[in-house]
Amino acid sequence: MDFIFAFIEPYLGGNTLQDLYVALGIFVGALIVLWVLKTQVLSRWARYAATTHWTIDTLIVDALQGIGSSFYVFVSVYAAVQNLVLPVLVTRVIEGIALFVVVYHIIRIMSALVLYFLQRQMGRGKEEKNVSSVITLFVNITLWSVGLVLVLSNLGFDVTSLLASLGVGGIAISLALQNVLRDIFSSFSIVIDKPFKEGDFIIVGDHMGVVKKIGLKTTRIEALQGEEIIISNNELTTVRIQNFKQMHKRRIPFTLGVTYDTPVSKLKKIPGMVKKIIKAQDHTEFDRAHFKSFGDFSLNFEFVYYVDTNEYNMYMDIQQAINLGIAEAFAKEKIAFAFPTQTVHVVQPA
């Protein structure tokens, strides 16, 4: 044995056979421990996660089970060579590979968690998935930047100048893409806050129509006339928006006038007549009916009712039925609608 050791000693780089045996034992032991953790502990955790209503634990288990065998091998190699005397280059290569593998899997798990929380917060609609993908991309870029800097720093590289270059480059890019980034972050705000969504009928300033698509930079609206209106997302987050899709009940006031020669007995009947006509319609809730004022050429009544839908066509159908009912009832009672008239009194000179 001494003869063999004397023969190979020049190739051990200052390590003894005992050091090699210890390193081999550490390597095998680390592999066994990691294998037990994956096949026993992680498997039991997976079975437990399948019985719970939580999604986060299942997500973490799936991410951990997706760790490849290279992770366990390089971690075991890294642990084994800690007590060996190796050339500096070899040590740095082993440490760099092991650290890169660890950082890679950590970033992979964190990225999956970020995507999960984004989808849980914003939903799983088409536009929400688009925004989630963009946010996840930004998060991945940030995580990988931090991870690579961490790896290089642990390998002994001076990352100060690299960080300074990244900072200056980031400022230059942000200034060049200022308007684009403003619209992109505005789209994040729209999707997360949900002031409107695809299919909603909205009014923005002088424009109105149905939201057809919420993009990363612009939102497309189909106007009532049929043309497409394209508005930047930044503008949509800085103006007042009326969203009729979110209107669960529509309040409808309307007035009508009758002629001044209408008898008082018939004036008293009008509120009850119109109330009965309104309550006869489906999806309506009567509010009030009043003889409001004496106009220039008419006696004015005001009526208010509610429609329990945000559908404009249904509202117009109901209003049409009410108008026809009023016209029919007034004709039966011989009540005349007022229209602009002017009476001229001619006085003969004495």
Rounded to an integer, the average pLDDT of 286-298 is 92
pLDDT band at 336 (very low <50, low <70, confident <90, very high): very high
- Residue 122 pairs in a beta bridge with none
Q: What average pLDDT does the segment 161-171 reach? A: 59
Over residues 321-331, mean pLDDT: 95
As given in the structure block, the two tokens for residue 196 are: 């409107």
Q: What is the mean pLDDT of the chain?
A: 77
Dist. CA 58–CA 46, nearest whole Å = 7
**Residue 133: pLDDT band by 50, 70, 90 thresholds?**
low
DSSP string, 292-325: EEE-SSSEEEEEEEEES---HHHHHHHHHHHHHH
d(CA 264, CA 329): 17
What does the pLDDT read at residue 11? 43
Higher pLDDT, 96 or 4: 96
Numbers of helices and strands, H then E, in the chain: 12, 8
Tens-place pLDDT, residues 39-85: 777 777 766 666 766 666 666 666 676 676 777 777 787 777 777 76
What pLDDT is attached to residue 269? 94
Query: Lowest-confidence range among 141-150, 204-213, 227-236?
Result: 141-150
pLDDT confidence bin for 26, thresholds 50/70/90: confident
Name the burial class of residue 100, with classes exposed (0-12), middle (13-18) and buried (19+) by CB atoms within 10 angstroms of its CB. middle
Tokens of 186: 């505005």
Instruction: Dump the DSSP string for 129-173.
Output: HHHHHHHHHHHHHHHHHHHHHHHHHHTT---HHHHHHHHHHHHHH
3-state helix, strand, coil in the chain (%, to 5): 60, 15, 25
Determine the Cα–Cα distance for residues 108 and 140; give it in Å rounded to an integer. 9
Domains of the chain by start residue, with CATH: 2-176 (no CATH), 193-245 (2.30.30.60), 250-333 (3.30.70.100)
Apex 49 CA angle, 46 and 55, nearest 5: 120
The whole-model pTM stands at: 0.48
